[in-house]
């Protein structure tokens, strides 16, 4: 995979030769203004429904192995 | 009744000439005869929350990237095997509310990363025209079910060409709308600034009807804006006064001779309908692939961090060690292409390389969008072949990821610019290595939110092309229900 990645990066590197000094970067193509919605409470997913697809739900939470390796 | 387009079926249902339940059942039977590995899930009494009690419009196939409440949603990945989302994507919700039964979830490249559907964890989809060939990707299943007569229409997603390219390789219509036209809520994210939902249909009128159902602003997706007006069914018959630009910078040697021939014949048809053709320069479009393969992997590396074996999907290893659990889950859950892109994206975003890769790619994106804006000052549309080749053989390009990426040469610039583009079948051509003729797609791109104009022009051109070929066994023959303007195209196998 290292060889494949090098080949891809070599191709991608072509853009480094372009002189784009002063060009604004685009992160989003459609002009949008940030709008806040009304601060009204609404129903969200019940906890048990949100937890149902988890591999190891327990006591209303996601259980994971210990973060401290033995 | 399977020969009807979705628009015809809808008209027949409203006129009381077609029973919606019988029609849906006939399509369900057809979908059950899938020999293309195109469906990953079909209803088996387990459709629960997404059931449509009273169908009133043609049933539809949905790419397995859209969340469907209680119904398996894998995004073509092992890491989501067995995942049943607790909610339904807005696009699918709109289909259900419109009365379209869900025929099934379609196979796809893992997390929509691929151009051949060979990156699915559940095996490749076969092209209905030639089962030794790929259907294109990443929405290969959605293209194959429509072309192969396993669904009247379908939805998919397009990040760099994933609707247009498989539509071209399967000989059907595929539309990528303007970024923001359709909600992305519940659509599993690959590259969020590029991902867009869109229709796969047999003809342009069906694409207009489907877009009308899907489009709209959604409070659940703050980047959705919808279209100013829902699209109307197109009926324009000429192209008088319209100007079509052919990018001179995209005239590459890599285009197969057969594809080039069909492309040129289509340009002649445009002129025959009163349209004008001229060359235009899109000087930065040739850097589209480079910019895309920085931006899309960068966004993906961030989006895919959520698959860690904690909240949904599979978990593997690390019974007593969290880090080991993360690593084993991701090592076993993701396929090679997904790992490749996560590494590329993480590298491009890393400190010290960020400006050289991600920052530079975003500037290229600005220049590509500006090239299109300049072109649209003097032209109505930009046209290209959709794909440089017809459908290629299974396994032909899997050994060389870069060669696979270059397939997206004609479709990526429009994605980076966020503009709408449609692929319509334009004819048949022999593959470069010889063999039976296969479909060729013609791509038309328009300014942002000019979907109606795009559909009108595509419809006029579709009538003139009169593509009436279909894969053997399909219950339809191209667009032969539409009045012919000439002697018609070549016969299908």
- Please indicate if any CB of chain A lies within 8 Å of the CB of B352: no
- Please indicate if any CB of chain A lies within 8 Å of the CB of B311: yes
Comparing CB atoms, the residue among B312, B320, B363 nearest residue A54 is: B312
Question: Chain A closest CA to B355's CA: distance in Å?
Answer: 10
- Please indicate if any CB of chain A lies within 8 Å of the CB of B42: no
The predicted pLDDT at position B310 comes to 96
Mean pLDDT per block of 10 residues along chain B (493 residues) reads 96 96 97 97 92 95 98 98 96 98 98 97 98 97 98 98 98 98 98 97 98 96 94 97 92 85 97 98 94 97 97 90 95 97 96 93 97 98 97 94 89 98 97 93 98 98 95 73 37 35
B395 sits in the region (left: phi over 0; alpha: psi -120 to 50; else beta) called left
The predicted pLDDT at position B489 comes to 37
Interface predicted TM-score (ipTM) of this complex, two decimals: 0.93
Q: Is the pLDDT confidence value at A54 over 80?
A: yes
Chain B nearest-CA residue for A63: B310
Nearest to B387 by CA among B171, B207, B239: B171
CB contact under 8 A, B367 and A4: no
The predicted pLDDT at position B492 comes to 36
Domain ranges of chain B: 6-287+362-465
Question: B291 with B361: CB under 8 angstroms?
Answer: yes
The architecture (CATH level 2) of B6-287+362-465 comes to: Alpha-Beta Complex (3.90)
Q: Give the A-side interface with B, CB within 8 Å.
A: 1, 4-5, 7-9, 11-16, 18, 20, 23-30, 32, 35, 37, 45, 49-50, 52-56, 62, 64-67, 69-70
Contacts of B293 in chain A (CB under 8 A): 8, 11-12
The predicted pLDDT at position B442 comes to 98
Per DSSP, chain B holds a count of helices (H) and strands (E) of 14, 11
- Spatial neighbors of B40 by CB under 8 A, at least 6 apart, are B64, B72, B74, B76, B104, B105, B106, B107, B122, B141
The predicted pLDDT at position A70 comes to 56
Contacts of A26 in chain B (CB under 8 A): 362-363, 365-366, 369
CB contact under 8 A, B323 and A67: yes
What is the C-alpha separation between B456 and A19, in angstroms, rounded? 39
The pTM (predicted TM-score) of the whole model is 0.95
Contacts of B284 in chain A (CB under 8 A): 18
Question: B143 with B135: CB under 8 angstroms?
Answer: yes
Chain A nearest-CA residue for B287: A15
pLDDT bin (cut points 50, 70, 90) of residue A38 is confident
Cβ contacts below 8 Å, chain A against chain B, sum to: 136
Contacts of B327 in chain A (CB under 8 A): none
Report how far apart, in Å, the C-alpha atoms of B247 and of each of B272, B372, B426 are: 20, 10, 18
The predicted pLDDT at position B493 comes to 33
The predicted pLDDT at position B478 comes to 57
Comparing CB atoms, the residue among A8, A23, A55 nearest residue B402 is: A8
Only one residue has tokens 């099934």, namely B104
């Amino acid at each position: 995979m290292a060889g494949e990645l090098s080949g891809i990066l070599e191709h991608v590197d072509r853009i480094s030769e372009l002189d784009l000094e002063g060009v604004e970067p685009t992160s989003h193509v459609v002009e949008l203004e940030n709008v806040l919605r009304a601060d009204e409470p609404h129903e969200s997913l019940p906890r048990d429904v949100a937890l149902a697809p988890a591999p190891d739900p327990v006591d209303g939470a996601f259980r994971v192995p210990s973060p401290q390796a033995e | 009744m399977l020969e009807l387009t979705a628009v015809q079926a809808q008209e027949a249902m409203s006129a009381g000439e077609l029973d919606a339940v019988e029609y849906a059942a006939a399509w369900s039977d057809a979908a059950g005869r899938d020999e293309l590995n195109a469906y990953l899930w079909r209803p088996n009494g387990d459709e629960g929350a997404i059931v449509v009690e009273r169908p009133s419009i043609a049933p539809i196939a949905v790419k397995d990237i859209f969340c469907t409440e209680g119904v398996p949603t894998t995004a073509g990945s092992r890491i989501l095997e067995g995942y049943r989302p607790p909610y339904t994507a807005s696009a699918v919700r709109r289909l259900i509310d419109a009365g379209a039964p869900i025929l099934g979830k379609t196979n796809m490249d893992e997390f929509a990363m691929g151009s051949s559907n060979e990156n699915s964890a559940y095996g490749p989809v076969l092209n209905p025209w030639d089962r030794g060939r790929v259907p294109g990707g990443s929405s290969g299943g959605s293209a194959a079910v429509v072309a192969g007569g396993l669904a009247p229409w379908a939805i998919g997603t397009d990040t760099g060409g994933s609707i247009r390219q498989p539509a071209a390789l399967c000989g059907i219509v595929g539309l990528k709308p303007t970024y923001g036209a359709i909600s992305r809520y519940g659509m599993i994210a690959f590259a969020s600034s590029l991902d867009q939902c869109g229709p796969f249909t047999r003809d342009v009128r069906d694409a207009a009807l489907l877009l009308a159902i899907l489009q709209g602003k959604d409070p659940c997706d703050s980047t959705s804006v919808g279209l100013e007006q829902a699209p109307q069914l197109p009926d324009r018959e000429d192209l008088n006064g319209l100007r079509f630009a052919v990018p001179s910078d995209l005239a590459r040697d890599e285009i197969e001779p057969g594809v080039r021939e069909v492309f040129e014949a289509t340009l002649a048809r445009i002129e025959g309908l009163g349209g004008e053709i001229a060359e235009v320069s899109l000087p930065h479009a040739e850097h589209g692939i480079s910019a895309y393969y920085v931006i899309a992997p960068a966004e993906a590396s961030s989006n895919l961090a959520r698959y860690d074996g904690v909240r949904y999907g599979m978990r593997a290893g690390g019974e007593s060690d969290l880090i080991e659990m993360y690593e084993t889950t991701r090592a076993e859950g993701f396929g090679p292409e997904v790992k490749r892109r996560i590494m590329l994206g993480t590298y491009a975003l890393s400190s010290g390389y960020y400006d050289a890769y991600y920052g530079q790619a975003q500037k290229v994106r600005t220049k590509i969008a500006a090239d299109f804006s300049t072109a649209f000052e003097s032209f109505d549309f930009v046209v290209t072949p959709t794909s440089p080749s017809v459908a290629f053989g299974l396994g032909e390009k899997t050994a060389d990821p870069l060669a696979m990426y270059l397939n997206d040469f004609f479709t990526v610039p429009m994605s980076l610019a966020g503009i709408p583009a449609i692929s319509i079948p334009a004819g048949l051509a022999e593959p470069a290595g010889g063999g039976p003729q296969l479909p060729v797609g013609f791509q038309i791109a328009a300014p942002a939110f000019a979907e109606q104009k795009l559909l009108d022009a595509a419809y006029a051109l579709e009538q003139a092309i009169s593509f009436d070929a279909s894969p053997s066994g399909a219950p339809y023959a191209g667009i032969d229900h539409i009045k012919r303007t000439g002697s018609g195209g070549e016969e299908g196998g």
